[in-house]
C-alpha cells in the first residue's frame, strides 16, 4: 500500500498552532509489521531485553570511582563521568549496578 502525500489545510495548521493537536497522526494505514528488536510496551520484555554478561577486562564500576547507591542527596555524576573517561582510554565498559544512583549531567 502506498501512502499519498498529505498536506495540512490552513484550518488544520491553525488548529495545530492553537491546540497542539496534529490530525495527521491518526490518518493513514497502521504500520503493524513487528520486526526483531522493536521496542514496545505491547510486547513482553523478554522479546527485546536480553541478559548480557559483564566483560572480564577493562570494566569500570562507578562505585570504584566514588558513586554511592541509594543516596538521593549525593550527585554521582562526577563518579560516572570519571568511569566514562577511564573506559574511553582503554575501550572499556562502564558498569552501573548495585542499586539506584542519583546523577546530574553525564557526558559521553
86 or 16, which is more confident? 86
* Whole-angstrom distance, CA of residue 2 vs CA of residue 106: 43
The confidence score (pLDDT) of residue 3 equals 52
The confidence score (pLDDT) of residue 60 equals 97
The confidence score (pLDDT) of residue 25 equals 55
pLDDT at 4 over 60: no
C-alpha cell at 97: 549496578
* Whole-angstrom distance, CA of residue 12 vs CA of residue 23: 7
Contact present, 60 and 19 (Cβ < 8 Å): no
| CA atoms in the 13 A half-sphere facing the CB of 16 | 11
Percent of the chain at pLDDT above 70?
A: 75
pLDDT digits (tens, 9 = 90+) for 49-90: 788 888 899 999 999 999 999 999 999 999 999 999 999 999
* Whole-angstrom distance, CA of residue 1 vs CA of residue 42: 24
**What integer is the mean pLDDT of 85-105?**
94
32 or 2, which is more confident? 32
93, β-bridge pairs: 59
* Whole-angstrom distance, CA of residue 98 vs CA of residue 65: 14
**What integer is the mean pLDDT of 86-100?**
94
By the 10 Å C-beta count (0-12 exposed, 13-18 middle, 19+ buried), 79 is classed as buried
The confidence score (pLDDT) of residue 63 equals 97
Amino acid at each position: 500500500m502506498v501512502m499519498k502525500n498529505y498536506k495540512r489545510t490552513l484550518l488544520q495548521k491553525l488548529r495545530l498552532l492553537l491546540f497542539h493537536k496534529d490530525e495527521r497522526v491518526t490518518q493513514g494505514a497502521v504500520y503493524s509489521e513487528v520486526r526483531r528488536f522493536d521496542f514496545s510496551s505491547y510486547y513482553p520484555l523478554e522479546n527485546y531485553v536480553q541478559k548480557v554478561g559483564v566483560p572480564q577486562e577493562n570494566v569500570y564500576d562507578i562505585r570504584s570511582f566514588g558513586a554511592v547507591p541509594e543516596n538521593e542527596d549525593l550527585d554521582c555524576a562526577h563518579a560516572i563521568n570519571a568511569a566514562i573517561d577511564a573506559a574511553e582510554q582503554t575501550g572499556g565498559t562502564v558498569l552501573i549496578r548495585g542499586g539506584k544512583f542519583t546523577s546530574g549531567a553525564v557526558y559521553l
